[in-house]
Structure 1
């Protein structure tokens, strides 16, 4: 890049040639080479520890700073850390001195947590089961919602409609508001829901045919005549 600058290349031309960001080119142009090399050497060891910083910050907060670097090193090494012990001690010293900010653990979205709750336990990986357990221990509301959701999922999978009313009563007592509203909604059409959880028949086949007809209808809406729609529906396999 410096050779190109010596040839009086513009920043835009260097960006296109080297596929770099404009800020990177300006920083390399305006910063002494020795300073760039020194800063790169200082940052390189910390990059090894980046995936483990959230665990270190959590353990640091849990122990209120009273935790040894050796213990932290052994714990994160068991989780896959491949760096040296000195890097861990350096990061821990920075946390105690307040010169670096603690890294918060990645918090999954509500949709992801819901998917963990609704899946059977045997379908979860070890790490997913561990993360879900952490949230259950942190939030009692999630614990109660998780238990009830799995109970209702069991009713659907195994057609245990005779237990529906009992489960509804459980959901109406000391549960988060969304679960209470869900239970009251089921009461509005209790006979139909019980039949759906008991009998082997359902309207799934009819809904499938309706969707098969509506899909091409939406595809040609405003673009073609009803004759083309009729042909597409008849010839669709």
Structure 2
């Protein structure tokens, strides 16, 4: 029935009624977690994968809650889920005959994290290769994408507030874990996502610090070639050069320009602008993307990285093969890939292969069946947007939107 007069969002939501939850689970059930309040409160979204229809939204993401729902709503033959072990326990307990399907996107995400850890562990190879390249006689045929050192070695980096915070948090999380705190409890203690806590627990401190260092801005770097050219032309006034690059978009401070000009006058600045070594995250993005999707420059830089570090080259080859297995549903070749990764792969990739063995049946189903959690992820993203939009207008700061109301909005979303 149409509402008379103007109506706000709170009033409109008050007119909605949650749909009835079916007595039986759909044949293909999708399960994924959803943030009522990011890094604080999470629920579980249940979805009919075949019709892309939300079924229910549970108030938390514990295995006990999901197991109770599956017991009260039998009938699921296939359950698509992420790699969360809590969901797996619930399915084995309440729906033991159902086929579990590990989500392919999450598998690729886990592999990407293993590749990035490998790149972090072997940054010394890239620095050594770059230094050797700098010391070698210049060649007219040298590729323009040669790696050159820009960032100082990790041991020589002065502490920053961000790096200090990472160090302290790493120590505190490990201390609580040794005191038998659960990952969920630690996440609540620090207001973090559980995935972030797991990263602190499974990643070396040097890798975390290097990641924090790589986020430091270097605003002057893109303008160094221009400054060096103007310096060669005779313009050595720092204030003048600052004004010129500011007109071209530089938003750093004058002090950085003045110090760089001083280093050029003293002969301590490089005659040629150094090219940065690619960050582990950037190298990982090149590896995880199809080679024909990279630009020519990116392909050349990746080839330089492969030459500099055999372990990264091996990880790259293994990642490319694994991605092909996922894309083409060649699950019958997965066992061969796992054996190869455990035999020849660097440490993080071996760990990823071992992680696949722990969830073997679901992983194999994910590489064989057409079903996945992709449709569930789309609804989760929509729910994230709706919860962020509903929460501040309807509820006190410490509460979260009613699950039924959000399912109603999702299922019967009006046309704009």
TM-score above 0.5, yes or no: yes
Alignment match of 1:192 (pick from 349, 352, 362) = 362
Query: Alpha carbons of 1:136 and 1:163: their partners in 2 closer, same or farther (altered >3 Å)?
Result: same
TM superposition shift of 1:210? 4.1
Q: Distance in 2 between matches of 1:130 and 1:208?
A: 35
Question: Aligned pair 1:235/2:410, yes or no?
Answer: no
Tell me if 1:220 matches 2:414.
no
- State the structure with bigger RCO (CA 8 A, min sep 6), 1 or 2: 2
Instruction: Name the residue aligned to 1:61.
Output: 135
Give the SS at the match of 2:368.
Answer: coil
* 3-state DSSP of counterpart to 2:393: coil
Query: How does 1:1-237 map onto structure 2 within 5 Å?
Result: 61-63=135-137, 72=140, 99-102=267-270, 103-224=273-394, 226=402, 229=406, 232-233=409-410, 234-236=412-414
Alpha-carbon distance between aligned partners in 1 of 2:136 and 2:394, rounded to the nearest angstrom:
65
Are the equivalent residues in 2 in contact too, given 1:145–1:175 (CA < 8 A)?
yes
Structure number with the higher helix fraction is 1
CA deviation string 1:187-208 (max 9, x = no partner): 0111111111111122322343
1:139: Cα distance to partner?
Answer: 0.9
Distance in 2 (CA, whole Å) between partners of 1:145 and 1:211 is 31
Gaps of 5+ in 1: 1-56, 78-86, 88-97
Q: Distance in 1 between matches of 2:285 and 2:414?
A: 34
Q: In 2, distance between residues paired with 1:76 and 1:148?
A: 27
Please tell me whether Structure 1 or Structure 2 has the larger radius of gyration of its CA atoms.
1
Q: CA deviation at 1:125?
A: 1.3
CA contact (8 A) 2:383 2:406 kept: no
For the 8 Å contact 1:118–1:149, the answer to whether it is kept is yes
Q: How big is each residue's C-alpha offset from its partner over 1:130-162, in whole Å with a ceiling of 9 and x where there is no partner?
A: 100101001111111111111111111111111
Change (3 A) 1:229 1:172: closer
- RMSD, aligned α-carbons: 3.3
CA distance in 2, matches of 1:133, 1:141: 13
Between Structure 1 and Structure 2, which shows a larger proportion of strand residues?
Answer: 2
- Superimposed CA distance per residue, residues 14-60 of structure 1 (whole angstroms, 9 cap, x where no aligned partner): xxxxxxxxxxxxxxxxxxxxxxxxxxxxxxxxxxxxxxxxxxx9866
SS across alignment from 1:105: coil
Cα distance in 1, alignment partners of residues 133 and 360 from structure 2: 49
Unpaired segments ≥5 residues, structure 2: 1-130, 145-231, 233-265, 396-401
